[in-house]
């Protein structure tokens, strides 16, 4: 199975958070290099903005050097973004980022999206026969904010989201009424998508990633 990370803000910030959580990082240059090794290239300007939105601070390490820390990490204030699950990236990479930006950035965007589109979810539930064309723009918006990675095998696709966002993404997928999707099962930060085609998982993952990337 291959994990694919879209070039969306949610995915990028999740991997920034994950890298800071499991590695000692002393500079933005070092962080950019580590992210690149994990398949997440990022410019210096974008990285600076991500660190600010994630609330990253520089704290004094045991050896006296200054290192980056996220809120709630050992030695850092606030609440943690968190990590969970088995490794999904390179051997030295994080498991999967659980909450890229509870205190800002993608997290705020996700909350705003959920609030502004709550009525759409209700409307979709009342009209399950909506076409894929009708739901695609909304799915693109939500996927661009919440989709962190996609992993396909046979007719199954595993989507990762920030913590607490999986059920919302699954609901949007359900109401988009894509003929290629048989159904979804959502947890806290993971959505299992079942493709109708017994070998259609990879194609479905690619379509979802492309949809999210168009909204960057």
pLDDT tens per residue across span 61-79: 888 899 999 886 444 433 3
pLDDT band at 185 (very low <50, low <70, confident <90, very high): very high
Cβ burial of 30 (10 Å; 0-12, 13-18, 19+) is: middle
Question: For the chain, what are the domain ranges?
Answer: 1-216
Sheet of 181-186: strands edge to edge?
Answer: 2-4, 149-153, 156-160, 190-195, 181-186
Which of 35-39, 64-68, 112-116, 175-179 bottoms out in mean pLDDT, i.e. has the lowest?
112-116
Is residue 105 pLDDT above 60, yes or no? no
Report the pLDDT averaged over residues 193-204.
96
Q: What CA–CA distances, in Å, run from 57 to 20, 32, 49?
A: 11, 16, 13
Confidence at residue 31, expressed as pLDDT on a 0 to 100 scale = 94
CATH class of segment(s) 1-216: alpha beta
Report the pLDDT averaged over residues 101-109.
38
107 and 161 Cβ atoms separated by less than 8 Å: no
Is residue 40 pLDDT above 90, yes or no? no
How many Cβ atoms are within 10 Å of 74's Cβ, its own excluded? 8
Report the pLDDT averaged over residues 117-139.
50
Report the pLDDT averaged over residues 153-182.
94
Confidence at residue 141, expressed as pLDDT on a 0 to 100 scale = 92
Pairwise pLDDT comparison (99 vs 179), residue with the higher score: 179
Confidence at residue 10, expressed as pLDDT on a 0 to 100 scale = 83
Classify 13 as helix, strand or coil. Answer: helix
130-152 tens-digit pLDDT: 444 456 889 999 999 899 999 99
Confidence at residue 215, expressed as pLDDT on a 0 to 100 scale = 53
């Amino acid at each position: 199975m291959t994990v694919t990370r879209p070039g969306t803000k949610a995915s990028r910030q999740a991997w920034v958070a994950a890298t800071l959580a499991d590695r000692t990082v002393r500079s933005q240059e070092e962080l950019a290099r580590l992210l690149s090794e994990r398949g997440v290239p990022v410019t210096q300007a974008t990285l600076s903005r991500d660190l600010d939105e994630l609330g990253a601070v520089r704290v004094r390490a045991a050896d006296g050097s200054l290192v980056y820390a996220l809120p709630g990490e050992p030695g850092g204030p606030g609440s943690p973004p968190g990590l969970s699950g088995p490794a999904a990236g390179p051997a030295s990479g994080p498991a999967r980022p659980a909450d890229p930006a509870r205190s800002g950035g993608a997290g705020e965007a996700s909350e705003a999206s959920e609030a502004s589109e709550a009525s759409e979810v209700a409307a979709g539930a009342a009209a399950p026969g909506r076409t894929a064309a009708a739901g695609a723009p909304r799915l693109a918006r939500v996927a661009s904010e919440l989709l962190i990675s996609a992993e396909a095998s046979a007719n199954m696709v595993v989507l990762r989201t920030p913590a607490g966002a999986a059920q919302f993404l699954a609901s949007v997928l359900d109401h988009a009424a894509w003929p290629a999707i048989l159904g979804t099962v959502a947890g806290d930060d993971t959505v299992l998508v079942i493709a109708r085609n017994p070998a259609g998982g990879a194609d479905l993952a690619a379509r979802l990633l492309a949809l999210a990337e168009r909204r960057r």
